[in-house]
A and B are shown apart, each in its own frame.
Chain A
């Protein structure tokens, strides 16, 4: 695809070439430097993975097809039985049921409403009945359903890795618990929990075992905000941000749209005030100071990249500006802020804007910032007059926990005999020099409860208890506002696990060990609710009016001053002493989702990296260190990074917009004991993380190894080339030119003369609905929850790292991330890209077998049974949204995804024989197959090898809604689905920011039709006369004219 000939060829149909220079949107570094070398597919895209040649591939393909044909003609359809229960089970086979539950996070939980069909959880949605919830979810909640069906999850009780029976293991637990005395030699290490039942259980256990030591362990915790606020207020309080109340927001390394806890809720609040539909509407403004390039930074109106060692100085400078006269007690602020003077042209106007909007402006600091910084932030928010508005304080729970350091000391001194480890994975997350493994070995009895037999469970002598997934468990949790959420099981434990509540109750020998009874008792104790209230609690998923009342707080100036005095300005980093940021991975979190294929294959929202982690570095630093690549086919150099005497090796990924002289390391990778999906992927950044520098560290050096490795990044895949793919403007520009979105890009009239009338034009009049979608680029934050939601709803397989290299990822919905501006401080835009359901779809006219056709309601439909896999449609698709099944991803185990039936022998048994015996199962192991059968959405057909697929606008949901309407209508004329019954698509439902609106365009009252009529609405590729059913709302940035251009970073 080269652009030079465009002008020569096209005289009557002006095809705008790509913009260049300052206004060009670009996706990856190499593209910026060599735009003309871009290719539609990466090198080797159509090739068979090594070592089998393409020819060999065809040979075995044809042979296997032949054999498959022989096999299937030889038999009739098997006799099937319907085993009808003797007593009516009370539900109708095949009809979905919905249950309210919640997915526990660290201190809180995400309220959920889970769809279950025939007793199997199928799809996770947000629970709109929870207070403050909008029905959206984050990507982890969406992906967690795959964890339920993970065949590699722990499924056995074990002692020293030898399987024991459940009865034996539980018997041991009870006996051992009885011998604990007063708990003098017992320590319980648990991951954080916000469960009221766990809290109550702990109180019960503390009565029985008063001397037991409790320790909370999280590799990444988010408690600094709470600790800092408590310090500033002189009482234990937890700050709760309410972004919908704030108009001007300053984030200081606070990735509240990505890596902070409850990011989905923040996204919902943030986007509420982010979408001006008329020029005179207002919108919020986000300033962001950060070291990495995060989602929050890419959504910011003004962004400043500073290395972590400068963050304190920047914060202090803001404190000086905002606290002003009040800062009399804060004597050292000026000294602290001195290194930030280089940024004062950015900080001063920003602070002024915050002060001008007093009462509607909010300062936020991220979990990586020290607690003293959070104390300063609390003081700033008080000065800005937002206490009780954009930030409220609720009473915090005080727990008498042992710190990890003390626990380690006690373990090493031999004063702990019994060590209970609930969740977490300390052996992986605390390697040398902390050396958890050695400390754990000092305890005589180690009881380990977790979802996977991980590194910690595999240490010698461990008594292992498999945990239940939250979809199999009874439990409870609290929302950030204190509302009690119910966790109820949707399915019996698939792998014989037990819940944490039962485990603890049995250990302590409590009378009540049934988890449901424990939760119920807690509910009764907290709300005084009776049976009806309990039913209500389970039905709604939350206890009504159980939110915690905010408390009024007063800043203690002295405490803040004392806290500020403990802060010290950092030293500016250099290439010889680099700053390091350890960050929470957008996908794997701290490693807990390592065996989740959906998350592994999801392109990171910012870097677009899959199946790996990398050492992030800024372009300028990469140039200085000689690590920059010149084109996309070059592998990424592997470097050895040394930090305080310890080293780690990993590939370098150049991230535009990052602070210079800073390295970003994602945690959670490099696990050796995980399941088949996540084993050995990436490098373990915990190896160089020190207990006293958990988030930022300083003084790292790097060394080139001379080696290099390719990284499976999707940012150069499915490239669209046109000017006007993304349309954006400033709020000011929108006010001056409200129709800028339609006026940008190609101005070709939408109606081309055609020899052939489009049948849809006439069908439109008689058909009940015309489906369409709008996507608001201003609301979209790029979090990718929609991608996982789509994958979950539509049975989309994962293809593995090898195939991502070849641009064969199967996501029906992808998020394109564009940069604009310089490499140093680019702005970024995210654009969800899915089948646009063009009314004049180019894919349809090239299909040789009519496998992709239009229906009367405007859907571009894929007919899998007709598809012969010519891939012409994909070639002709201007949006590059069609996905081809190069392999039988559904019939191969995750570690042998690309094997054909003839490729090799699996476990002695002939693969081919197995394929012929049960073509549905293919070469899946029995357990995988049974679980896969359970996990798939039964309303969506599974696609086999050689089939094209793409977004269907969740036609199964539309079809169900239509059927339900027809059932309701009976012998009346009301066959049109009323607005309130139009189903959301999976992506729309999952979106926490409400960026996606789907609906009936022929119903002018529908939201989608309303958005389509918006001033900001635009369709892509006007000049091709595609008439897409998906349109976008142009992005508006609310710039502050006083601010400097986003250039001039350190």
Chain B
């Protein structure tokens, strides 16, 4: 019988089990890394050098996004405000607050504040803010409800699938241009007493109307974003 099962086969079950375990760990790790929000950075919330709260400024003060991110409707990059922009208000408000020390210094000396980049696309992806904001895609669609965030975090996966989902079916996500920067905007259907499904359909119809009126044709070819 020894010819049929040589001695090394004694170790086979153990090796198989071990190998299987290693494989399982690798596969799990691979999935955990590549297919989870952690990989896509969803939920990423770095600590900023100055504890700026979007919640305070948007929900409490009612600032419009465009006050600080001033090129969001004209350029690919939405702009981060210079400290001088902060000082427009903060030379009146919280004039000697220690948390604003860096901001005051920066505005006075032009020394940069190293804000940590929160939303970051890979270098081979081209994204243009203005095209979206000028064509009815609200800030919240990608950035989430910023008005409720004390410390800024990544709300959506910002993966290619996320982009394509909307590019393939923009209807439920379009809104009037004047509402693009409103974080609390809600679609209000004309008719009342609609079921949830009917509300969604009405929302969709509203989007379809915008698509027709504005000739919206989101591109899905590769070179739209990869150049």
Contacts and interface: CB of A to CB of B under 8 A. Distances in A.
Interface of A: 73, 77, 79-89, 92-95, 766-768, 853, 855-857, 859, 861, 863-865, 939-941, 952, 955-956, 959, 963, 966-967, 969-975
Contact of B177 (A82, A83, A971): A971
Contacts of A80: 116-117, 120
Interface in B82-136: 82-85, 105-117, 120, 123-124, 126, 128, 130-131, 134-136
B120 A92 contact: no
B82 A85 contact: yes
A970 B227 contact: no
A1012 to B, nearest CB: 23
A959 B225 CA distance: 9
Interface stretch (B59-67, B164-172, B188-196, B209-217): B209-217
Contacts of B131: 963, 966-967
Nearest to A965: B131
Contacts of B224: 959
A86 B177 contact: no
A673 B114 CA distance: 43
Given A84-B115, A95-B76, A941 B222 contact: no
B14 interface: no
Given A864-B124, A959-B224, A963-B130, A86 B76 contact: no
Contact of A86 (B46, B71, B109, B136): B109
A969 to B, nearest CB: 8
B75 A92 contact: yes
Contacts of B10: none
A967 B133 CA distance: 8
B85 A959 contact: no
B213 A973 contact: yes
B227 A959 contact: yes
* Most chain A Cβ neighbours within 10 Å, of B76, B84, B111, B176: B76
A577 to B, nearest CB: 59
* Most chain A Cβ neighbours within 10 Å, of B77, B136, B223: B223
B168 to A, nearest CB: 14
A195 B214 CA distance: 53
A970 B117 CA distance: 28
Nearest to B133: A967
Contacts of B185: none
B23 interface: no
Contacts of B76: 94-95, 963
B226 A83 contact: no
Given A84-B81, A94-B76, A971 B114 contact: no
B227 A94 contact: no
A885 B76 CA distance: 30
A973 to B, nearest CB: 4
B41 A77 contact: yes
29 contacts: A79-B116, A80-B117, A81-B114, A81-B116, A83-B114, A84-B81, A84-B82, A84-B83, A85-B82, A87-B107, A92-B71, A92-B75, A92-B79, A93-B79, A94-B77, A855-B221, A863-B226, A865-B226, A941-B226, A952-B223, A966-B134, A966-B135, A967-B131, A969-B135, A969-B214, A969-B215, A970-B214, A975-B215, A975-B217
Interface string B185-207: 00000000000000000000000
Nearest to B107: A86
Contacts of A967: 73-74, 130-131, 134
Contact of B124 (A73, A857, A941, A973): A941
B31 interface: no
Given A973-B215, A975-B217, 7 more contacts: A84-B80, A84-B115, A92-B75, A768-B217, A859-B221, A863-B226, A973-B213
B33 interface: yes
Contact of A955 (B110, B214, B227): B227
* Most chain A Cβ neighbours within 10 Å, of B33, B73, B176, B226: B226
B115 A82 contact: yes
A955 B225 CA distance: 10
A859 B113 contact: no
A200 B81 CA distance: 46
A83 B219 CA distance: 33
Given A87-B107, A941-B227, A967-B74, A81 B117 contact: yes
B85 to A, nearest CB: 7
B214 A973 contact: yes
A853 B41 contact: no
Contacts of A963: 76, 128, 130-131
A970 B227 CA distance: 24
B58 to A, nearest CB: 19
Contacts of A974: 215
Nearest to A855: B221
A970 to B, nearest CB: 5
Task: Please list the 7 inter-chain residue pairs (A to B) with the smallest Cβ-Cβ separation, ordered nearest first.
Answer: A855-B221, A86-B106, A83-B112, A81-B114, A86-B110, A956-B227, A973-B215
A835 B227 CA distance: 16
A855 B222 contact: yes
B223 A87 contact: no
A973 B106 CA distance: 44
A864 B214 contact: no
B213 A971 contact: yes
B123 A941 contact: yes
A970 B109 contact: no
B227 A940 contact: yes
B75 A95 contact: yes
Contact of A939 (B113, B135, B217, B227): B227
B74 A81 contact: no
Given A93-B77, A941-B227, A973-B214, A861 B221 contact: yes
* Most chain B Cβ neighbours within 10 Å, of A81, A768, A859, A861: A81
A871 B222 CA distance: 20
B222 to A, nearest CB: 5
Nearest to B212: A973
A865 B223 CA distance: 12
Contacts of A83: 112-115
B164 to A, nearest CB: 14
A861 B220 CA distance: 12
Contacts of B214: 969-973, 975
B110 to A, nearest CB: 4
A939 B115 CA distance: 24
B135 A970 contact: yes
Nearest to A866: B222
B110 A85 contact: yes
Nearest to A763: B221
Contacts of B75: 92, 94-95
Nearest to B130: A967
Nearest to B214: A971
Contacts of B216: 975
Contacts of B110: 85-87
A993 B226 CA distance: 32
Given A84-B112, A95-B77, A959 B135 contact: no
Contacts of B221: 853, 855-857, 859, 861
B223 A855 contact: yes
Nearest to B49: A81
A347 to B, nearest CB: 55
Nearest to B178: A971
B82 A86 contact: yes
Nearest to B76: A94
A82 B227 contact: no
B226 to A, nearest CB: 6
A861 B108 contact: no
Nearest to A860: B223
A859 B227 contact: no
Contacts of A973: 213-215
Given A80-B117, A86-B109, A971-B213, A92 B77 contact: yes
Contacts of A939: 126, 227
Interface in B26-79: 33, 41, 46, 71, 73-77, 79
A775 B158 CA distance: 41
